[in-house]
Amino acid sequence: MRKNLREEIHRNLREIRVRAFDILPALTQRFREQASHRHPEMVRDEYDRFWDRAWASGEYLRTDGVILKYDRPLADYSALDFKKDVVVASLRRYIEEHGIASVLEIGSGAGMNLIYLAQLLPEVRFVGLEPTSSGVRLGREFAREIPKELRLGDSTGPLSNVEFIQGSILDADAVESLEGERFDLVFTAAVLEQMHNEIETAFAHIFRLATRYFYFFEEWLEANSRLEHYAYLVHHDYFRLSWRYLSERGDLEILDRTIPAIQPGQVQYGVVFGRRATT
């Protein structure tokens, strides 16, 4: 009897979730009445000011933010811990499992993901494409001399297997300059959230460069079925596509889809990992 009741509860929850997805598009216009509208220049300027301030102030090291594990707050846990334990650990697993030798990060920010990965995987080549001058500058500084907050061992650098290039994935010239590089993996991590209004261009350019594998750590709709999460995404004009957007393309094969247990409080992230179907 207990087993049957548990199965019924899970079945009803799944049905509620499906119905929620059906009504979310209808709610979008109401949420957007007071929403901001993101555009590439605004985002670039915001983050050009952000990176220096965030690193100098120790914002990434603060442990008083709301980061949850199974909806329970984690004590003494920072945004940098989240990057290392969730994003970087996930990427490392896929890179090692699939014998990936070269990686391009779209929107590498101050380079923290790649600085971690370059230390963990010294035989892999890493490149970061970042639109802000402050992010590129910090990434290059960190590669020359690894800050103690980003060190995973005794080495202080320099890291010879990582480089940072200034440019935007929305810029056709920047994409063209990288097309001959042949990266085994192209990935984003909390970057497409800023490109909801240019998402068709972003994906078109990403898949010009992603000739083998791709990885997207983003606010997929399936991870944000709660109304408060979806409302937050719409109000801030963040990325909010279903991962069906990728699975319905004929040239891609989805290999894995996951929703990590550890999440920030306001929105939820999901991971989609896959490859080009022609490879």
Digitized pLDDT (tens) for each residue of the chain, 279 residues in all: 455 655 654 554 444 344 444 444 444 454 444 455 677 788 788 888 888 888 888 877 787 777 889 888 888 898 899 999 999 999 999 999 999 999 999 999 999 999 999 999 999 999 999 999 999 999 999 999 999 999 998 888 899 999 999 999 999 999 999 998 889 999 999 999 899 889 999 999 999 999 899 999 999 999 998 888 888 888 888 888 999 999 898 899 999 999 999 998 788 999 999 999 865
Give dist(CA 133, CA 114) in Å, integer: 17
Q: Where are the domains of the chain?
A: 1-34, 37-276
Give dist(CA 95, CA 105) in Å, integer: 13
Give dist(CA 237, CA 34) in Å, integer: 10
74, 270 contact by CB (below 8 A): no
Give domain 37-276's CATH number out of 3.30.43.10, 1.10.10.60, 3.10.20.30, 3.40.50.150. 3.40.50.150
pLDDT of 20: 41
The pairing of strands 72-73 and 67-69 is antiparallel
Q: The pTM is what?
A: 0.85
The pairing of strands 262-264 and 252-258 is unpaired
Burial pattern 264-275, b for ≥16 Cβ within 10 A else e, equals eeebbbbbbbbb
* Count of H-run helices and E-run strands, the chain: 10, 10
